[in-house]
Amino acid sequence: MTFRLFYAIALGMMSVAVLGLAEPAQETPGVKRMPFGKTKDGHPVDLYTLTNGNGMEVTITNYGGTVVSLKTPDRKGKFADVVLGFDTFDGYLGNEPYFGALIGRYGNRIAKGRFTLDGHEYHLAQNDNANSLHGGLKGFDKRVWSAKEMPAKDLAALQLSYVSKDGEEGYPGNLSVTVNYSLTPNNELKIDYAATTDKDTVLNLTNHSYFNLAGQGQGDILTHRMMIDADRFTPVDSTLIPTGELKSVAGTPLDFRKATAIGARIDQNDEQLKFGKGYDHNFVLHRQNGGLTMAARVTEPSSGRVMEVLTTEPGLQFYTGNFLDGTIHGKGAKVYGRRSAFCMETQHFPDSPNQPKFPSTVLKPGQQYQSTTVYRFSVE
Ligand code: GLA
């Protein structure tokens, strides 16, 4: 190396250090573990930090398989944490709305907490008015998962697994679930879900991260621009159970086929928006093929951050944090007000076990449940 080149590199490194431009520090891809706390019944849980070598970093706890933080750069290279959550483990033990958690066995609602499978009626906890929501009273979001750091060359990967016993939360079958989180060199958080059962059951797994691309706690998300590649959605009744119809988004405030500010129509006088208190609806994704397909693209104008959502799932619950009300104080003591984040829950349609025309959520012995979702971050 010539002296001049060496000098230039050294100078560059110094200015980066002084200006703090490269924060968080560049690292080789990998996973680090540290203790995070103890559950009420004394189980220790850990916090895993995944880094991808570009400075992007995600932390995940094996309690609920929860994404605790996700740091991505803005258009100037400045990093911010773009998901809601808590600095310490205690926050996750309180009454909180599934921040970052893995949701199962059944993401979204099952009407009246009931479904019939193979002639047998199963009863679930009615934890959302009369309906069952997000797996019941102690869903996958409140379970301690086994964690394994996965050796991988170019990416940081964490494997979580959990065995849900036959009858847990009212669902049939011993269900073995594996969720792989990986952070790729392309600034993608990739989630691979897999499961098997020993008895016919129903299953709908998702992740419940709350995003704010301006940074967590930076006000509402109404100026984010959202594109959802869906021609139809599943209209709901006043309890957010689908009517069974697949309705065209054309001419409705749910038409996001062209990128539109989330807040542009959110308070329109529309029955669906009233039922959801904003957006809280499942979109029928326009799938070009059977594999991983682009479902949505969100941009935040002030930071330039872009998030794309790709999935193998047929549906996407777009929820605009309508139930957040400022009572929760999250990371850095930030107040999480109404609509201060949005969720992109890739999934099968709500209440599918009671909707014969919806894609099936039944899993049988010998079958392998498999699903992948990617949250890809960039800037513009
Ligand atoms: C989902 C539901 C919402 C709400 C949140 C959690 O996104 O669709 O109605 O229950 O979870 O608060």
- From the CB of 343, is ligand 1 less than 6 Å away? yes
Averaged pLDDT, 351-365: 98
Averaged pLDDT, 111-122: 98
**151 versus 174: which is more confidently predicted?**
174
If phi over 0 gives left and psi between -120 and 50 gives alpha, with beta otherwise, what is residue 357?
alpha
SS3 261: strand
- From the CB of 319, is ligand 1 less than 6 Å away? yes
pLDDT score, position 8: 46
Å from CA of 60 to ligand 1 middle: 21
b/e map 189-220, b = 16+ CB within 10 Å: bbbbbbbbbebebbbbbbbbbbbbbbbbbbeb
The answer, yes or no, to whether residue 1 has pLDDT greater than 80, is no
pLDDT score, position 290: 75
Do 218 and 227 form a contact (C-beta atoms < 8 A)? Answer: no
> Which of 58-72, 185-199, 282-296 shows the lowest mean pLDDT across its residues?
282-296
Cα–chain-centroid distance for residue 224? 17
CA dist., res. 327 & res. 260, Å (int): 29
Mean pLDDT of the chain: 93
- From the CB of 317, is ligand 1 less than 6 Å away? yes
Mutate which of 66, 96, 98 for ligand 1? The one with the most ligand atoms within 8 Å of its CB, which is 98
The percentage of the chain sitting over the pLDDT mark of 90, rounded to a whole number, equals 89
Mutate which of 102, 132, 134 for ligand 1? The one with the most ligand atoms within 8 Å of its CB, which is 134
pLDDT score, position 154: 84
CA dist., res. 345 & res. 295, Å (int): 11
Q: Which ligand 1 atom is nearest residue 109's CA?
A: 8
pLDDT score, position 4: 53
Label residue 153 by pLDDT band (50, 70, 90): confident
Do 81 and 214 form a contact (C-beta atoms < 8 A)? Answer: no
- From the CB of 323, is ligand 1 less than 6 Å away? yes
Token representation of residue 48: 């895993």
CA dist., res. 158 & res. 32, Å (int): 10
- From the CB of 98, is ligand 1 less than 6 Å away? yes
Token representation of residue 16: 């980066």
Mutate which of 99, 133, 345, 346 for ligand 1? The one with the most ligand atoms within 8 Å of its CB, which is 133
pLDDT score, position 270: 98
Å from CA of 109 to ligand 1 middle: 9
Which helix (H) or strand (E) element contains residue 297?
A: strand 293-299
Whether the bond into 265 is cis, omega within 30 of 0: no
Catalogue the active-site residues.
208, 345
The answer, yes or no, to whether residue 22 has pLDDT greater than 70, is no
pLDDT score, position 300: 98
pLDDT score, position 26: 53
- From the CB of 341, is ligand 1 less than 6 Å away? no
pLDDT score, position 10: 47
The answer, yes or no, to whether residue 27 has pLDDT greater than 80, is no
Do 305 and 275 form a contact (C-beta atoms < 8 A)? Answer: no
- From the CB of 84, is ligand 1 less than 6 Å away? no
pLDDT score, position 209: 99
pLDDT score, position 17: 39
Å from CA of 230 to ligand 1 middle: 20
Nearest CA-CA partner of 55 in 187, 181, 180: 187
Nearest CA-CA partner of 225 in 325, 286, 308: 308
Do 82 and 111 form a contact (C-beta atoms < 8 A)? Answer: no
pLDDT score, position 151: 80
- From the CB of 342, is ligand 1 less than 6 Å away? no
pLDDT score, position 24: 52
pLDDT score, position 61: 98
